[in-house]
Structure 1
Amino acid sequence: MEITYMTTSELSERIKYDQRTIREQLKDSVLFEGVHYIRPFGGRKILYLWERIEEEMLNGVSSNSLIVGM
């Protein structure tokens, strides 16, 4: 499976949400680290995993995602 890595800016353009909304409201409440985004090399930069986010948007938030996010 090919994974598309996106910055907050790129994700914002794709899903039509403001970058600030993604960072402050979606990250860690709907989008979880290790499921929907990663911090490569243990750094501060966040890369979102487009295919995982798209799947959640189309199918709704799964119970598996909620459990991982706890």
Structure 2
Amino acid sequence: MTYLTTNELSEKIKYEPRTIRSTLKDSVLIEGVHYIRPFGGRKTLYIWEKVEETMLAGNTVSDLIAGLQ
């Protein structure tokens, strides 16, 4: 697995770090699926393979929620 910080993810997907934190995180990018907070800390590490898989699949929030049920 490849772990990325918010800034590193921003460079890969061409979205501003602020957009990732305020819009994508916890709506499209789900904790435990697309990102983790190692050691119970504040730092967020994104799992690149999961983010890429979701982007390529074109999943919507509704798709992700349906997949959790």
The alignment's TM-score, normalised by the length of structure 2, stands at 0.88
- Measure, in 1, the Cα distance between the counterparts of 2:58 and 2:34: 13
**Structure 1 unmatched runs, 5+:** none
CA RMSD of the aligned region, Å?
1.7
Quote the offset at 1:60 in angstroms. Answer: 1.9
The one-letter code matched in structure 1 to 2:8 is E
Residue 32 (structure 1) aligns with:
30
The one-letter code matched in structure 2 to 1:59 is A
Q: 4+ residue stretches of structure 1 with deviation over 6 A? A: none
- Measure, in 2, the Cα distance between the counterparts of 1:51 and 1:61: 14
* Identical pairs, percent: 66
The one-letter code matched in structure 1 to 2:28 is V
